[in-house]
Amino acid sequence: MTKVIFKTKNSFLSLLRIKYTYTMFSNSSKYAIKAVLFLAVNSSENHRIMGKDLAAPINVPQAYLAKLLQELSRGGIISSKKGPKGGFFLSKENALHTLMDVVNVIDGNDKFNSCLLSLEKCNADKPCPLHDLASPSRSKFIQSLNQNTIDEFSTQIEQGKVFLPL
């Protein structure tokens, strides 16, 4: 028997969210990336966006997002202005960061550099059984997380080549 308790609107909504999938990103990082990219496309120095207006379009719990935005702001990934007419935005310099910078701020550094199975560094000379299956593409993926700027991603979005997910 499944027991469900409805406490608040948010906890109800969270039932609809799919959690904990194997994507190498923590939920927090995913949320943060979505927020940053949304800001990249929709905000600017003089068009700031409030936390609560950001939460809905990217489908992230408002209170949780608030916390993430604060971490991103502290980490220099996004900019903000307090008070009335305040909000969050991406400066030109902010947009030069990479997505790896985003996850480093949210989840800490050095999460991507080890073997799929072992505790050692991934090593082509003594590959684990999954190395050849995963490693070439994996390192390419990690490389673009490290190299492509947020600005580049937002250009792709503006050109309609890729889409910002809910």
Partner DNA sequence: TCTTAAATATGACTTTTGTCATATTTTAAT
Partner DNA sequence: ATTAAAATATGACAAAAGTCATATTTAAGA
Which residues sit at the interface with ligand FES, rule CB under 6 A? 115-118, 122-123, 127-128, 130-131, 134-135
User: Does the footprint of its own copies cover residue 126 (CB under 8 A)?
Assistant: yes
User: Does the footprint of its own copies cover residue 50 (CB under 8 A)?
Assistant: no
What binding mask, one character per residue, do residues 85-124 give for DNA by CB under 7 A, x or -?
xxxx------------------x-----------------
20: left (phi over 0), alpha (psi -120 to 50) or beta: left
Residue holding tokens 């979505």? Answer: 34
State the nearest-atom distance from the C-beta of 130 to ligand FES, in Å. 5
Tell me the β-bridge partners of 89: 79
**Helix or strand holding residue 23 (H, E):** none
Q: Which residues contact 11 (CB under 8 A, 6 or more apart)?
A: none
User: Does the footprint of its own copies cover residue 34 (CB under 8 A)?
Assistant: yes
Residue holding tokens 């305040």? Answer: 86
Amino acid at 134: A
Q: Which residues bind its own copies (CB under 8 A)?
A: 17-18, 20-25, 30, 33-34, 37, 59, 99, 111-120, 126-134, 136-138, 140-141, 144-145, 153, 156-157, 162-166
